[in-house]
Structure 1
Amino acid sequence: MTQKILIVSGSPSLSSRLYGPVQYLQGRLAEEGFASELLHIVELPPADLVTANFAGTEIREALRKVEEADAVVFASPVYKASFSGVLKTFLDLIPQEGLRDKPVLPIFVGGTIAHLLSIDYSLKPVLNALAARNILGGVYSVDREIERRPEGGYILSGETQSRLERSLSELKLELARRESVPAELPGVRA
């Protein structure tokens, strides 16, 4: 059975440099035989996000995708030394234990190396509150490491590609480990 990876983009812009690493990761996941889907939070109904309308059809569908994913990648630009408010509104809708038993991979893109620890200090505590216990190291890239191509797409620095490859290896190992552990042992969670 093909494992499903959900990539959740917290960018308020569909042309953000964030999509350089996201597209690279999607391509590599496909090469490795994983099914991936990209969820653009900014395309969800804004009123439903802001008012936490759990009854909204598109919100329910997005939360179903999180629930059914074998692993989740949370991608965000860095603003004010933290992840985007767009991502925060979506994280607020995920049920209290909605990330239990799922490997989670953060990918951040910021304007400066000064915010390198924003994954650790801003995102990881929120993910822990959602019962994520297997948060992978993550990838932080600086804008200048992601070049927009005039014809479309992006060129990533060798360093960014290397960090993405390490994170992909870590994710693959974790998913393989989870597959080899029996799903239902009495009193034990995989």
Structure 2
Amino acid sequence: MATVLSVSGSPSATSRTARLLRHLDARLIAQGHEVTPLDVRDIPAEALLHADFGHPVITEVTGLFARADGVVIGTPVYKAAYSGLLKSLLDLLPQYALTGKTVLPLATGGTTAHVLAIDYALRPVLSSMGAGHIVQGWFTLDKDITVGDDGLLAVAPAAAEALVQVVDHFSAALGRTAPLAAAGRAA
């Protein structure tokens, strides 16, 4: 199957966005995909803030993007846009880092007023980076994501069903595009 890079753009160590991504990663793994999680908050701040393209971690992350057939990009929405932390990383990647890749944009936020952040803020950037296919993204309200005292994630039933459909659509798209992406990397 495909290699997927699952990127959390949340700056929070207790991020619902990151936990939701790791939950969805499990579904992709169960479908036979190889998933590499990446929490942008773990990248050294000095590399991001000083735009250090040559920093070893930035070089490693660039390689992760290059080797991936598909990328899941998850972000909390702040002030009607994706996180500044995610923006810092995307700015350090090569202009066409997503060329030929299938991309699934996901966002979380406190109000439905931010639901269009995927289409009006994130999708144009992903497109400008050459994404081969950006599948329909999904916005999940913070109130629909809870973490129990045991650390287990629970997603409200309607949101959970929608996320299953979105992830399955992404997985199916990967099945169609991963062989093409692999051939392109080999050439």
Query: How high is the TM-score relative to the length of structure 1?
Result: 0.91
| Alignment-mate amino acid for residue 73 of structure 2 | F
Task: Report SS of the residue matched to 1:101.
Answer: coil
Please name the residue that 1:84 is paired with: 83
Q: Whose helix proportion is higher, 1 or 2?
A: 2
Tell me if the contact between 2:70 and 2:178 (Cα under 8 Å) persists in the aligned partners: no
Unaligned runs of 5+ in 1: 186-190
Change (3 A) 1:25 1:183: closer
Aligned pairs (5 A) from 1:95-134: 95-134=94-133
The Cα offsets for residues 53-111 of structure 1, whole Å up to 9 and x where unpaired, read as 11110110011001100100111101001100000000001111110100000110000
Change (3 A) 1:184 1:77: closer
Tell me if the contact between 1:10 and 1:76 (Cα under 8 Å) persists in the aligned partners: yes
Please name the residue that 1:15 is paired with: 14
In the TM superposition, residue 162 of structure 1 has moved relative to its aligned partner by 1.3
Larger deviation, residues 152-161 vs 73-82: 152-161
* Number of residue pairs matched by the alignment: 184
Q: Tell me how far apart the structure 2 counterparts of residues 151 and 170 of structure 1 sit (CA, whole Å).
A: 30
Q: Tell me how far apart the structure 1 counterparts of residues 181 and 81 of structure 2 sit (CA, whole Å).
A: 37
In the TM superposition, residue 19 of structure 1 has moved relative to its aligned partner by 2.8
Q: Give the % identical residues.
A: 36
Aligned pairs (5 A) from 1:110-189: 110-179=109-178
Change (3 A) 1:31 1:80: same
The Cα offsets for residues 15-46 of structure 1, whole Å up to 9 and x where unpaired, read as 11113421221111111111111111111111
In the TM superposition, residue 121 of structure 1 has moved relative to its aligned partner by 0.4
| Alignment-mate amino acid for residue 107 of structure 1 | L
| Alignment-mate amino acid for residue 157 of structure 1 | A
| Alignment-mate amino acid for residue 150 of structure 1 | D
Q: Tell me how far apart the structure 1 counterparts of residues 178 and 155 of structure 2 sit (CA, whole Å).
A: 32
Tell me if the contact between 1:20 and 1:153 (Cα under 8 Å) persists in the aligned partners: no
Aligned pairs (5 A) from 1:14-33: 14-33=13-32
